[in-house]
Amino acid sequence: MYRKTLLAGIAAMAMVSGNASDPMGSSSSAYAEEAGKSDLPKALTFKMKTLDGEPADMSKYAGKVVMFVNVASKCGMTPQYDALQKLNESFKEKGLEIVGVPCNQFGGQEAGSSKEIKEFCSSKYHVTFDMMEKVNVVDKGKDKACDLFKYLSEVDAQPKGKGPVAWNFEKFILDRKGNLVGRFGSGVKPDSAEVMKVIEAALAAN
């Protein structure tokens, strides 16, 4: 009896000792993770999926200058892919991230599957910047905007200001702190002087 009691006591002490270095157990790492997320700017707290269907956490762009663009493959604005890719090649190493977000809500101009969109972007424009899975970017009937674009549309960013996305290839620019510092309409080219002014200022800032 004494031997059994002694062994039970030793086992109990071992369990206490094992938890002493991590009194909160596995919950402490989860708490730390959530605390880290709370430090992120709102625009980088959202989750999406890539064209390959892989999870994509927008927090990966923390510290970068980001341009989100709702894109389409059969639009009069589609040739803007060329300028977007050139921006990616010229400024990625300086901290610019271009993120294409396909949407089929305007004229049904992005009706293809993820595989078809990827093939089009790769073969036609040699796109190497990040492309997300197709989503809705505006509330329209039963369709609801994804969380990212719902948030971006509610920010009063100049020169366009706040409000629903009107058409394909609107451009939303975040600075390195995740602030939305520029919003440009579809007709404004990605490499126009006014867009470049915002991008270069954001890249230069700490």
- Tell me, what CATH number does 187's domain have? 3.40.30.10
pLDDT tens-digit readout, 9-65? 444 444 444 444 444 444 434 434 444 456 899 999 999 999 999 999 999 999 999
Q: Does residue 75 carry a catalytic annotation?
A: yes
Question: Is residue 154 predicted with pLDDT exceeding 80?
Answer: yes
Count of domains forming the chain:
2
Whole-number Å distance between alpha carbons of 117 and 91: 24
The pTM assigned to this predicted structure is: 0.82
Domain identity same for 126 and 142: yes
- 122 and 20 in a common domain: no
Whether residues 28 and 121 share a domain: the answer is: no
Q: What is the mean pLDDT of the chain?
A: 87
Q: How confident is the model at residue 206 (pLDDT cuts 50, 70, 90)?
A: confident
Residue type for position 116? E
What span, in angstroms and rounded, lies between the C-alpha atoms of 95 and 66?
8
Do residues 109 and 185 share a domain?
A: yes
| pLDDT of 17 | 44
How are the residues of the chain apportioned to helix, strand and coil, as percentages rounded to the nearest 5?
40, 15, 40
The pairs formed by 54-62 with CB atoms below 8 angstroms and a separation of 24 or more are 56/130, 56/132, 58/148, 61/97, 61/99, 61/174, 62/178
CA 103, 105, 111, 113: dihedral to nearest 10 degrees? Answer: 40
Q: Name residue 167's amino acid.
A: W
Answer yes or no: do 123 and 143 share one domain. Answer: yes
Identify whether residues 77 and 174 lie together within a single domain.
Answer: yes
CB atoms within 10 A of CB 121: 23
Q: Which of 75, 103, 121, 146 is labelled catalytic?
A: 75
Q: Is 191 helix (H, G, I), strand (E, B) or coil?
A: coil
Residues 28 and 126 in one domain: no
**Same structural domain, 31 and 53:** no
Report cis status (omega within 30 of 0) of the bond before 159: yes
Same domain for 149 and 68: yes
Q: Report which DSSP code applies to 133.
A: P
Q: 30 and 95: one domain?
A: no
Q: Which of 21-35, 97-111, 139-153, 161-175 has the lowest mean pLDDT?
A: 21-35
Provide the residue range defining the domain that includes 200.
41-204
* 72 and 95 together in one domain: yes
Q: What is the torsional sign of CA 142, 108, 125, 80? A: negative
Same domain membership, residue 81 and residue 59: yes
